[in-house]
Chains A and B, each alone.
Chain A
């Protein structure tokens, strides 16, 4: 039964957050920076997982939601001189709005058609960024200066270029999104999403407007991915069109598959794993992508449910 051990599940998630908090104080500089990046990108993966893992909708266009957040935050800071919090909200709003529009159109399709339609939309978004190079900086991108990345809340000033502030900001976002997605997937809405994934026809015959529920999931997923993009722009001070390219649509899929779809901690594990495999292998060979590919194939062969999925199956059956 799903509520067999909610306390254990929440304890595990909070434990992971506490561990990440503690790591800030022990990690060497280089790894502290890497972890901040991984946590920000794990948010992207969590947004993707909400749609792919729980609703079963495979999108190949999520780079557009990430970059809607990236540019929504980056451009308002760069051109309009907005503060960090306002820019972050602008980024999330851009992603949510884009997801609403794309969802309304793309949800008329399913399966392979949905993959292709989302990919096409993302490609259009990518080309628009290049087309409006005067504002977006085109493929060069834009660098957001340190002065624009300082903000204050209640009299305390935060400088996002400071490694610890950056790490803690990434962690805060990660923790909020992790706990929110955990609450969502355990909620009534989450139960309906899983039902749609398992058997949409049957779900309709239980009185659910499955299209409306899927649209809500697309918007939630888009908003979370945009939050990741907005945070990325503000934390690392760079927006560029490569984040809107097809590669960034496929990456969250890989992270989620690696970590385990439909497991709330899967996205973090997948992102972490892939980042470090890439990082370590690129240190001693230029063919590191080949090694990443091999690692992926091995994982899919021997742990088709991803790392978290396999751990859950063997040891943590109570875990949501």
Chain B
């Protein structure tokens, strides 16, 4: 099977800092992949290179067989690469409805979905449990609900690859259970790349785990393999986090 996404020698420097350093990475269609690693390991920078939010210093990104390294972010989104922000970045002054209407009308314009904006929006809000908040300004939602709104916006883009950057940060335990169900559901028709610090979430969801450290891939494998990996223990799992 051909990978949905691959990177070769992908690097990004910030001044002298090698935030992402020669990463070779492959993601199979349909999998749920978790990326873990200590703070500052380069996880967000890495997925930003995939989504096109920032440009690589060197290396290439291939999506579905096509080199997209120089493609602007908005075109990657239309190809099906959706990114939800680590730092909540919903439109605070717009209603939850309008926040989700933006990605919905995008897929309608691109012909990637059919129907009306309203029904598309309500479907995405219902999947994330926000339907009764449709008319609330996003900035007035609780932090956890803003995180869910990010996810709703991401899935409203009808992505083939959904990149979630620490989606459970700030969610209550009950919300996390719903979230796990939601991601499993999304993964039925999309590939999911999930950056996550919450290890129970990672262990429950991920088919495979990639561990980042100092901008490089330290280890990769099934949840069992990663749990058993001594190096990972040293770099990350052993260290107390949060």
Residues in A lying within 8 Å of B, measured CB to CB: 1-4, 188, 191-192, 194-195, 198-199, 201-210
Known A191-B98, A191-B101, A191-B102: A198·B93 in contact at CB below 8 Å: yes
Question: Are B95 and A206 interface neighbours, CB within 8 A?
Answer: no
| Neighbouring B residues of A195 by C-beta, 8 Å | 91, 94, 102
Known A191-B105, A206-B102, A207-B157: A1·B135 in contact at CB below 8 Å: yes
Question: Are A202 and B77 interface neighbours, CB within 8 A?
Answer: no
Question: Are B89 and A202 interface neighbours, CB within 8 A?
Answer: yes
Provide the B91-109 mask, 1 if CB < 8 A to any CB of A, else 0.
1111101100111011001
Shortest Cβ gap from B92 to chain A (Å) = 7
Question: Are A208 and B135 interface neighbours, CB within 8 A?
Answer: no
**Residue among B53, B94, B135, B153 facing the most chain A CB atoms (10 A cut-off):** B94
Query: Which of these, B91, B109, B117, B134, contacts A202 with CB under 8 Å?
Result: B91
Chain B residue nearest to A202 (CB atoms) is B89
B51 beta carbon closer than 8 Å to chain A: yes
Q: How far is the CA of A198 from the CA of B94 in the complex (A)?
A: 9
Give 19 new A-B contacts, CB below 8 A, not counting A195-B91, A205-B77. Answer: A1-B95, A4-B135, A191-B98, A191-B102, A191-B105, A198-B93, A199-B91, A202-B91, A203-B102, A204-B74, A205-B53, A205-B73, A206-B74, A206-B77, A206-B102, A207-B103, A207-B157, A208-B74, A209-B74
Question: Are B74 and A210 interface neighbours, CB within 8 A?
Answer: yes
| Neighbouring A residues of B102 by C-beta, 8 Å | 191-192, 195, 203, 206, 208
Q: How far is the CA of A285 from the CA of B89 in the complex (A)?
A: 52
| Neighbouring A residues of B105 by C-beta, 8 Å | 188, 191
Shortest Cβ gap from A250 to chain B (Å) = 27
Query: Which of these, B51, B90, B94, B110, contacts A194 with CB under 8 Å?
Result: B94
Provide the B63-97 mask, 1 if CB < 8 A to any CB of A, else 0.
00000000011100110000101000111111101
Provide the B121-136 mask, 1 if CB < 8 A to any CB of A, else 0.
0000000000000110
Chain A residue nearest to B150 (CB atoms) is A202
Query: Which of these, B72, B117, B118, B157, contacts A206 with CB under 8 Å?
Result: B157
